[in-house]
Amino acid sequence: MSRSESKEIRGAAAVEYAKRLRRVRANPQTWEVEYVDEETGEHWVMDYPQSEVHGGGEPRLRPK
């Protein structure tokens, strides 16, 4: 998926897609994890935008 085609991915699909990426860093205070796609060089961020929901709600993976 190229940056021009990419958009955010949510839920289980986000978790599955992140498995093919390399984890770069994590911020435990914001619950954000940055990844890089080693094939394309694209950077991605996994976060939990619904912080009011138990466990932060469903994960969201979006291009950085």
Residue 46 CB partners (closer than 8 Å, separation 6+): 14, 18, 32, 33, 34, 35, 59, 60, 61
What number is the average pLDDT over the span 3-22?
87
Which one is predicted more confidently, 43 or 55? Answer: 43
23-39 per-position pLDDT tens digit: 999 999 888 999 999 99
Which one is predicted more confidently, 56 or 39? Answer: 39
Helices (H), the chain: 12-18
- 4 — pLDDT class (breaks 50, 70, 90): very low
- 6 — pLDDT class (breaks 50, 70, 90): low
